[in-house]
Structure 1
C-alpha cells in the first residue's frame, strides 16, 4: 500500500488531538474562573473581604493580610467549603503583633526588729539568691521573708544601681521601708533623734544613684511635752508667744498662720506629744483671736485649762462680749477662766452695761453680765432653767442697781428668744439686742422676731444672725454621728470587706459592701469618721502596718468615689496592734483581718456646777469660772 493512502488518517488523528487539547484547556479555564468567583463570593459574605482570591489552574490561591492566625485559618476553612480543601493554597500573611510590654519591676524592703520582708516583682534573669545573701550580711540578720515573684523579661537599665543602693540603705536604717525600682527609689525610716536623722540623711545622700529619682523621708520622734502649754500675749511691744506647742503638723501650720495674721512676723512653735485634745490647735487659734479683740492681755493654755487675763483698763462691756463668745466657741474639752483686773481709776462713762446669754453645743447655758437686783437675778435664773433645763444653766451675773428701767424684762425676753436656737448667744445692751447662733428650725428667725417685737416694744432695735443647720432639724430625724458609725460597722460585720491575699485592691464583694455603707451614710451630716485597717500577726510588724494603712486608704478612696457628702473620712492603719481574737487560730486571724469605723472628735457631755458650788460670788463677779469639767475628746496624738 502506498503511503499516500495513510495521509488522510494521520491528518484526522492530528486534528482530533489538537481539538481535544483545546477542549481541555477551555474546560480548565472555565472551572478556574467559576471556582475563583465562588470562593471570592463566599469569603466576602463571611466578612473576609481582605482576602484576595486567585485561580491557578485547578488550585485556588488565597493572599492578603489576616489580623491574626485564628482569622487566617477560618478564612482558609471557609474557602474549603466551596472547593476541595486540597485545591486551596494558603499564602496569607498575619499582622505583626506588638510585643507585650515588660512589667514594672520593683522591690519593697520592710525592716523592723523582727527581721526583713521582701515584696515585689523581679526579673527571672536577676541573681535573686545572691542579693538575699548580701542583704543578710548588710543587715546582720538571717530572718528574711522572701515574698517576691518573678517574670521572664529583660532586666531594666539601672536595676543593679538601685539594688546596690538598697543594700547600703538597709545596713544603715534599722526601722525602714525602702522601695527600689530602676525608675525611682523611696526611703521611709525612723530615727531616734534629730541628730541621728541628720546623720542618716547625710550618709544616704552620699550614696544616691545619679540616674535614679530618689526621695528620702526620715522622721525623728516628737518630744513628749507635759504639761502641754501655749501662752500668747499682746502688750506694748505687740503680739508674741511666751510658749507655743502644737499636736500635729497640720495643727502647727494652723497656729502659725493665725500668729502671722495677728502680726507676728516669724512665729515659732514646737510639734510634740501630749495634747489633751485633737482640737488643740483649734482652741489655741480661737483664744488668740479672742485676745486680739480685747487689744491687750494674755491667754494661757495648760492642758485643758484656759486662762484669759485682759489688760487693765479694758472695757467691761467688751470683756463680757469677748468672754461670752470665746466660751461658746472653744472645743468642749477646754475650760475657760477669765479675769478683768480693776483699773485704779475706772471711767464710768466708758462702761457699757450688757446682759449676755450663751448656749454651747453641749447644751450648757451661761448667764453673764448685769442684772438690777437680787430678785430679778433669781427670776432670770428660774426662767432660764425652765427654758433650757434645770441642770444646764450656770449663772455668773453681777448686780448693778444703776441699770435703766425695764432691764430685767428685756433680759427675760432675750432668754425666751435664745430658746429658739440650738446653740448660740444673745447680747443685750440698753439700746440693742443681738441674737446669733444655729438652729434646726427653719422658722426660727420669724419666731425670734415675733418674741422680740412683742416683748421689747415698738421701736426696739435688734439683729438676728441665725443659721439653719440641717443636722439639727428634729423633723428630719437625721442619724447621730454615733448611729452613723454603728450602722457602718454593722454592715461590715454582716458583709466583711475582704481583700485578696497580699492585695490592697477592693474585690467585687468589697465594692458591694461599700455601696451599702455609702447608702447608709447618705443622711449623716458633719460626721468625722476614721477608717481603721487591721491585720493578723502573720508577717513582719512593719509590713502589717503598711498593709493595713494601704487597705484603709483603699476603703477611703472607695467611699470618696461614692460621694458620701456629709462624712469626713480619715484612714489609719493599725497593723497587728489591736487584735480582737486569738492569732493562734485560723478563725482568730480571720477576725483580726478587718476594717473598723470609729467616730472622731466626738463631743463629750459636760456638767454644770451645782448651785452649791457656784457660791455667792456670782452675785458680784461676772468673771467667775464656768465650772465646766473638761472631758478629753478625741484621740491623743
Structure 2
C-alpha cells in the first residue's frame, strides 16, 4: 500500500506543477485522495484480520491447533507440520469454509511416518519321539527351508510338521545362535519343548535316567553360545524298583538304613522321621521310586520301624509285601511277643510278617564256626584277592571264573583252600560275595557261617540299596548280613564330570597349596609359579569354556596408582599364560584390585605376602550354572531362570577368600595321573 501511495504522489506532482494548482484547491484534492487511500487500507486490514481470526478459530474447534494462519491481501496462507496427511487435508477443508479454495496457499508439511517396530520373534519346537512340530513367527531373512532340513537331519525317521509364519524384518541379534543351540537340545532329547527367542532358549525335557539327565545337562551347558541365555529344565522319571526293598538295622553300632525305598515324598518324610525317632542320625537316604506293591507302604514301614525302636535292637527287611523281622536274643521273649503282636495288629492287610527271635549262641559251636570263612577283597589298584575256604574244586573254579568275568582275568588271585565240611549254602554265599564286590570300588566281603559282612567304598549313590536287594533276593528274607558301604563322590563317574563349580574348586586347591607369585615390581611369571600355571591350565583344558574373573591383588606398600596398574598387568599376564598353554580363556576377565581387598594384616610381612595374590572367581553364566548345581534339592535351575535374566557379571563374581562359602568348594579333583 505504501508503494502504491508513493507512485500516486509521483504521478500527481507533475500534473499539479503543470497546471499550477498551487492554491487551496490543489491541496484539498491531494488530501482527499490520501484520506480515501488510507481508509481503503484500513478496511482491507480489518477484513484480513477478520478472515484470519475466523479461520484460526475454526481450526482450533476441529482440534487442528498445530496449523498456523497468515493473510496477504486476499490470500490466506496455511503452514505448520501436520501429524498425518489426513490432518493436512482436514485443515485445508476447514479453511475452505471461510475463504474460497483459490485464495488458500497450502504451505503445510506432513510429519514423516515412523517406522513400524519389528514384532517379537519366537519359535517353539515340540518333540515327542519321532514327531516334531514347529510353531511361531520367524524373520523373513531366516532360511526356513534350511532350518527344517537341519531338523530332519537329526533323525532320518523324524516327521516334521512346519507351522512357522514369517514377517518381513531382518533377523534380530543372537537369533541364529539361539536356533543353533536349540537344534543341539533337540538332538539330545527325545521328549522336549524348546522355546526360542532372540538370545534366549528355554528347554524343558525328559530323559530315561538320572545319569542321562546329568550328562545332557553338562553337554548342553558346554555347547551354549556365549550370546545365548539358556534355561534347562531336564528331568528324569522316578526309577522303577523291583522288588520294592527296605532294610533297617538297629544294633550296637547304631540305627541305619541298608536300603530304603518310598513311593511318594510324603512317605519318604514319614519313614525318615520314624528312623530318626529310632536313633538314626546324620544324612539319611531314601529313594522315591515306582513299583510300590501297595498304597499302604508308608503305614507298614512306619509301624515296623516303631516296633524295632521299642525293642531296642533288631533288623527289619521289606521285600514288596513280605516283611521279615530278626531280633537278637538280648531282647526278652516277653517283650518280643508283646511287640510283635502289636505290630501284627498295626500292619495293613497287604503285608505278611515273619518275625524271628534268634536263640542264644553256643560258645563251642561259635568257636568252631569262627574258623570257617571266605573273603573277597578289592584293592585300590583293581586287584581282587580271594581267600579262605570253599567246599570243592567246582565251587572254587566257579568263584574264580565269576571274579575274572567281573574284574578281568589278570586281576584275580585265588588263595582259597577246600573244606568239604562247611555249612550248607556256602557255595551260594561265596558266589554272592564276588557279585557284591562288583558294586564297590574298594572293599571287602566276608562270609562266615551265620552272616555276610560287607564293607567298603562305592561310587554308586544307591550301592547299599542294590546290595541289600541282591542278598535278600538270593538268601531269603531271614538272611543276616551287615553293610558298611560309604559313598565317595571321587569314584562317581557322573559326579566327577567337569562342571564350573568343580573346576573352580580344583583351581582353588592348586592355588591354596602354591601361590602364583611374581618378583617385586615384575609382571613376569617365573620360578615355581610356572608349575602352578601349568596345573591350572591342565584343569581348564578338561573343563572347557567357562566365564571367570582373574583378579590381581597387592599389598598396601607403595603408591596406589602403581599398585593398581601392577595388579592389572599381573592378572593379564596370568590370562595370557593360560592361553599360551591351551586353556580356553575367551570368556576370562582380568581385573586388578590393587590393595583394595586385603585378606591379612598389611602391617606384617606375612600378611603382606598373603595379600599379594591371584584369585579365580566364577562370573556370568558359569556362576549361574554353579549355583544351580549346588542348589538344594527341589529347586530346579529353570524355576529361577525362567523369570529372571542374568544380572550383571560384576555382581556375580565370587571372591576367593578364607571366609568363602564352603558350598562352592567341591570335593578334591581326581588324580589326573590315574
TM-score when scaled to structure 1? Answer: 0.42
Structure ID, larger Rg: 2
TM-score when scaled to structure 2? Answer: 0.40
Higher normalized contact order (CA 8 Å, seq sep 6+, divided by chain length): 1
